[in-house]
Amino acid sequence: MKTVQVNVVTPDGPVYDAEVEMVSAKAQSGELGILPGHIPMVAPLSIGAVRLINGGSTELIAVSGGFLEVRPDKVTILAQSAERADSIDVQRAKAAKERAERRLREKADDIDFRRAELALQRAINRLNISGK
């Protein structure tokens, strides 16, 4: 089966670099499925999972926004943050989730609700992807 080169990069450095059969990602416009030979495009990503499918197995990467650039032979994901499922610190993600939920419940005047909502979405995404 044909493959496409995938690179996932963050400001902290590379997170993933391999050949896969299919990439599935959550763009702001909806779910995207990318196969080798896909037409070139750029799309902003939402907080969600990037699924990398190869040989019947699926690897998950938690991304917190960014951009997906597609070329026929290469997919580059430039993410604000990205973590492979096996490297997610579950305790840290749970603590972030609880902190964000507490901020949203308190409804204090000095709380930035949008920031707290995004923190909650990121934490939930990381927990879902870690499978715990």
Instruction: Report the distance separating Cα 41 and Cα 123, nearest Å.
Output: 29
Do 95 and 81 lie in one domain? The reply is no
Tell me, what CATH number does 28's domain have? 2.60.15.10
Q: Output the pLDDT for position 84.
A: 92
Query: Which residue segment(s) compose the domain that 78 sits in?
Result: 4-85
Instruction: Report the distance separating Cα 44 and Cα 12, nearest Å.
Output: 19
Within 8 A by CB and 6+ apart from 5, the residues are: 17, 18, 19, 73, 74, 75
Q: pLDDT tens, 26-73?
A: 999 999 999 999 999 999 999 999 999 998 899 999 999 899 999 999
Do 37 and 81 lie in one domain? The reply is yes
Q: Which of 36, 131, 20 has its CA nearest to residue 85?
A: 131
